[in-house]
């Protein structure tokens, strides 16, 4: 079967937790398919050798996409990350280590995220804009 980037995005959506603000969600929302593929392959979430037979072909396709991103120089990879996350508010909880990546002005819709951790409600958080 011949797959498209959209097929890969649709498949990788399985790893998106819509209740959390994650870096992976931003990659998905902006269709950074190769970056997302590399992220999931590196994390071990995509592994065609260990997956169910009916998912093997799409996972192999995603692994090829991941290799394309991985082949980029570190400088180019970092440029992609910097560009993608430049306007993202990153909130790092010093107590539970939960990290939120808040994009698209959501910190204005949910101002409480700037006051405490979204996960454990601790006020011991560090924030920064961009990577």
- On whether both 69 and 96 belong to a single domain, the answer is no
Does residue 90 belong to any structural domain of this protein?
yes
C-alpha–C-alpha distance, residues 106 and 29, integer Å:
14
Q: Which domain holds residue 64?
A: 5-17+30-73
- On whether the CB atoms of residues 13 and 1 are closer than 8 A, the answer is no
Q: Based on the fold, state whether residues 60 and 97 are members of the same structural domain.
A: no
Tell me if 12 is assigned to some domain: yes
pTM summary value:
0.84
State residue 131's pLDDT score.
81
Q: Per-residue pLDDT tens for 54-79?
A: 899 999 999 999 999 999 999 999 99
Instruction: Say what the pLDDT of residue 103 is.
Output: 87
Residues 106 and 67 in one domain: no
- Provide the domain count of the chain: 2
- Give which of 40, 47, 95, 107 is closest to 70, Cα–Cα: 40
Shared-domain flag, residues 68 and 94:
no
């Amino acid at each position: 079967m011949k797959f498209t980037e959209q097929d890969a995005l649709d498949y990788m959506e399985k790893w998106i937790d819509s209740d959390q603000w994650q870096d992976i969600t931003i990659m998905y929302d902006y269709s950074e398919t190769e970056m997302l593929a590399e992220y999931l392959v590196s994390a071990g979430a995509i592994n065609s050798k260990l997956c169910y037979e009916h998912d093997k072909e799409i996972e192999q396709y995603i692994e090829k996409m991941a290799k394309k991103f991985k082949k980029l120089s570190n400088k180019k990879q970092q440029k992609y990350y910097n560009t993608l996350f430049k306007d993202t508010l990153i909130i790092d909880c010093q107590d539970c280590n939960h990290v939120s990546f808040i994009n698209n002005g959501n910190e204005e819709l949910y101002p409480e995220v700037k006051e405490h951790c979204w996960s454990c409600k601790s006020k011991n958080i560090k924030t920064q804009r961009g990577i």
